[in-house]
Structure 1
Amino acid sequence: MTNQTFDLVVIGGGPGGYVAAIRASQLGMKTAVVEKAELGGICLNWGCLPTKALLRSADVLRLVKNADDFGIRVAAPQVNIDKVVQRSRDVSAKLQRGVAGLLKKNKVTVFQGVAQLLGQSQLSVQTAQGEHKLTAKHIILATGARARAIPNMQVDGQHFWSYREALVPKSIPKRMVVIGAGAIGIEFACFYQSMGAQVSVVELSDRILPQEDIEISNTVAKSLKQDGIHIYTGCKVAEHQVKNGEVQLRIEGAQAKSLSADVVLLAVGISANTENLGLEKTKIALDRGHIVTDEFCRTAEANVYAIGDVAGPPWLAHKASHEGVLCVEKIMGLTVHPLQANKVPACTYSHPQVASVGYSEAKAKALGKKIRVGKFPFVANGKALAMNSSEGFVKVIFDDASGELLGAHLVGDEVTEMINGFAIAQELETTEQELMQTILPHPTMSEAMHEAVLAAYERALHQ
């Protein structure tokens, strides 16, 4: 057993943990990270990044299939799923090496192993080389989350998949049922449909992407149905069985239906990774499975903090990274502002893409706000027409009294790159006047953002 002392030990090397460690080192803290699996966490290795690599292959396939629209004649494309998957894994591997390099560059000690809190600033870390006892002035828990299980549906890698199996298919199933229509479920539904699978989506809520503005959800649902994806909202799986090499399901609710599938993908949310951390040796409290923290990520245990998915929603990598920096800077006595959840942008890389920040129209009204709403369709945008990307729109919501930008909701090609403008505007407390006076370049799809703002005040120029 070795004994070492650190200013900060971070448990978890995902987008929250490794960023917190780097920032701590920049501020002069002797820092260590404990990671039981791969550096970069689920996001980099089995989530955000490899999924986007797969979806990029789907985008290329879709573009090639529609090449004739651009006056380009090509042979019928063929999918090499092994190469599609290998490219995705290569992207993750390259990024993982990058994270390792950043931690080394910043002189962060990395322990590949499993950590447990012992109380009173003590930790035990079990690695392949043996046990290490660490003493830390501060400890950050950044252990993330895992896919939530469904009772009586055990992931077996054959008929029942989690996101891990969905990222590395050996072949494309002919029929797939996706249970859950949040961002993860819808992204995989889009990918597998584009690769040739017959896809059905079952969602307990009354609409897909239930966290988004209802107009966005309805637009995406219409588009997915046009692509051939079957959507069953307000439904749940009542019974299922594996028979004759296929999964047979009976769904009930708003639409009663019997479905058959080669593969069922479980995408019904996440559960925080709090088990076997030694929390019972501390004063740390849980709420619905997540660690309770204050606005500066502090738990009820002195000098122990929690960030990212393990500390609750929104369950987004960039939220975890922001909390990591915020937490460390607060520890070091710097002036920081608490995270405002409604200012955390969210993106879904479906086809079409979805991006949002702030309140939905329904939420703004529920808060008693008198609002102005502006919308502008991409079909009226020159660059979108030139790119054959005219599906979707930009929607903005303003407080009528103050001009505050309460929310922005986009659906269409590459809107995940456009939402940043509205996120910056919210952080700077920009009003409609500044947004109207901002000059956006022409021709760009982002001009639709400007037009939507104008539309909220009945000043749109191109509709």
Structure 2
Amino acid sequence: MSGTYDLIVLGSGPGGYVAAIRAAQLGLKTAIVERESLGGICLNWGCIPTKALLRSAEIYHYMQHAKDYGLAAEKISADLEAVVKRSRGVAKQLNQGVTHLMKKNKIAVHMGEGAFKSANTLEVKGEKGTETLTARHIIVATGARARDLPFAPADGKRVWTYRHAMTPPEMPDKLLVIGSGAIGIEFASFYNDMGADVTVVEMLDRIVPVEDAEISAFLEKALTKQGIQIMTGAALEELKPGADKVSAKIKGKDGKVTSGEYSHVIVAIGIQPNTENIGLEKLGVKTERGFIQIDDYGRTGVKGLWAIGDCVPGPWLAHKASHEGVTAAEAIAQELGNKDVHPHPLDRRNIPGCTYCHPQIASVGLTEAKATEAGYEIKVGNFPFIGNGKAIALGEAEGFIKTVFDAKTGELLGAHMIGAEVTELIQGYVVGKQLETTESELMQAIFPHPTLSEMMHESVLAAYGRALHF
């Protein structure tokens, strides 16, 4: 079999399927090639099913603290199998949703392994045999996978990646989480809420190291209070899986090596791009550590070949991949003669980050330290959840919102939050940054009462010594 298209997208994750939809909207004959499940890792094994797990853990947490709300809940228990089943059901529903979107937008779907024969030709091996597909443009959206420890690769039994942690064969008794980025911290939070004894090991001097230092410090205190053991500045010296346990040796920041035994280990030390064995090398595509190098529109150095998502430089986030997908699709349509589309280059300064632990964290733009390093004279505002009526009414009075401004121009440089529902609140600052807002405009904006969003207003006011409620 064969097919000829204006655009083929290799990979159907949140970057790939969104790129295909946007291209179809612009009138391009479009196909998508997927080797596993429509929706990619995000919908099937990442963002969405993880949040379903975390929601179950959150409800369980609230049930255990029903007395704090004047309620009574007795004989509370968690059924891990049922929690996982719900999560998989959510993933299945969204996978079916993407399938519907492909049909709605008349996008051809070719299930199978795709590899380049030339810059505009893919050979796809799947259930239908071998197909040869050609296109004027091809977008590589092959994503990434969890990085293994070289001396103790994940086996799905005692040593897990995020995929194993989402469909666990049993509930961990004593869990070691290696790495404190978003994935590691989310699973640490989930399994701690579900009753496991959790230890987190981080090589750097603080957890969630990409976040503002104050956020890291607050989160460490919150997680420690919840019973999670945090080891920063620590290195994993040895990991030996056995039949019913895992033995680990960890070198602490004081140089001392301690030994411990755990029922399970989650390895969350980063990702490896899925760029091997698809024929990129013979095309002359430039990569660094496996990540495809692109311009701000997704172009590689090879004419007609584009790349987006987790197989290109970070941050490796689903929403960044989707944005890149739209940008690339519009740039391709423009190259193919569409004069009504005007793609904009990706501005990495305005990409928000969210971590769905308990408490949640969210951020956009420069941290206080990064702003200072960049040479800005800054003004910083900080407002605590305890000063907000809605937060107190919700029983969620722990957390704060921090804003960083250019003292000379009033430009919003960054915003950093920790607390209840901050992953929803952050978008207000994202829009503000996109519109190049200043402190004056944010101060003049009217925020509804009673809401958590009022803290965003107060944080801006605090940067200029004008906070009203603290």
- Under a length normalisation based on structure 2, what TM-score does the superposition of the two structures give? 0.97
Structure-1 residue corresponding to 2:337: none
What do the CA deviations read for 1:99-157 (whole angstroms, capped 9, x no partner)?
Answer: 00001100000000011111141111111111111110000000000000111112111
Matches within 5 A, 1:32-111: 32-111=31-110
1:453 to 438, 444, 460: 460
Structure-2 residue corresponding to 1:409: 416
Structure-2 residue corresponding to 1:314: 315
Distance 1:74 1:244 in 2: 38
Structure-1 residue corresponding to 2:273: 272
2:442 to 429, 432, 435: 435
Structure-2 residue corresponding to 1:376: 383
2:342 to 324, 335, 350: 335
2:265 alignment partner, SS class? strand
What do the CA deviations read for 1:39-60 (whole angstroms, capped 9, x no partner)?
Answer: 1000111110010000001110
Matches within 5 A, 1:280-319: 280-319=281-320
2:112 alignment partner, SS class? strand
Distance 1:110 1:241 in 2: 43
Distance 2:120 2:171 in 1: 49
Change (3 A) 1:39 1:244: closer
**Identical aligned residues as a percent:** 52
**Aligned AA (1:317):** A
Distance 1:140 1:65 in 2: 48
What do the CA deviations read for 1:302-336 (whole angstroms, capped 9, x no partner)?
Answer: 01000001011000000000000001111122322
Distance 2:121 2:136 in 1: 9
**Aligned AA (1:213):** D
1:319 alignment partner, SS class? helix
What do the CA deviations read for 1:70-100 (whole angstroms, capped 9, x no partner)?
Answer: 1111103111111100000000000000000
Matches within 5 A, 1:358-373: 358-373=365-380
Q: Contact between 2:152 and 2:240, CA under 8 Å: does it hold in 1? A: no
Structure-1 residue corresponding to 2:183: 184
What do the CA deviations read for 1:241-270 (whole angstroms, capped 9, x no partner)?
Answer: 235731111111405322210001110010
Q: Contact between 1:418 and 1:446, CA under 8 Å: does it hold in 2? A: yes
Distance 2:12 2:67 in 1: 46
Q: CA RMSD in A?
A: 0.9
Return the offset for 1:204: 0.7
Distance 1:242 1:51 in 2: 25
What do the CA deviations read for 1:150-184 (whole angstroms, capped 9, x no partner)?
Answer: 11112111110111110012321110000000000
**Aligned AA (1:277):** I
Return the offset for 1:281: 2.3
Change (3 A) 1:245 1:401: same
Q: Contact between 2:145 and 2:272, CA under 8 Å: does it hold in 1? A: yes
Q: Contact between 1:212 and 1:356, CA under 8 Å: does it hold in 2? A: yes
1:259 alignment partner, SS class? strand
The gaps in structure 2 that reach 5 residues or longer are 335-340
**Aligned AA (1:276):** N
Change (3 A) 1:57 1:120: closer
Question: Size of the alignment, in residue pairs?
Answer: 462
**Aligned AA (1:432):** E
1:418 alignment partner, SS class? helix
The gaps in structure 1 that reach 5 residues or longer are none
Distance 1:94 1:10 in 2: 22
Structure-1 residue corresponding to 2:149: 150
1:350 alignment partner, SS class? coil
**Aligned AA (1:15):** P
The more displaced of 440-449 and 114-123 is: 114-123
Structure-1 residue corresponding to 2:224: 225
Divergent runs of 4+, >2 A:
240-245
Return the offset for 1:283: 2.0
Structure-1 residue corresponding to 2:139: 140
**Aligned AA (2:327):** L
Asked whether 1:462 is paired with 2:461, we answer: no
Distance 1:254 1:63 in 2: 35
Structure-1 residue corresponding to 2:338: none
Return the offset for 1:292: 0.6
The more displaced of 278-287 and 431-440 is: 278-287
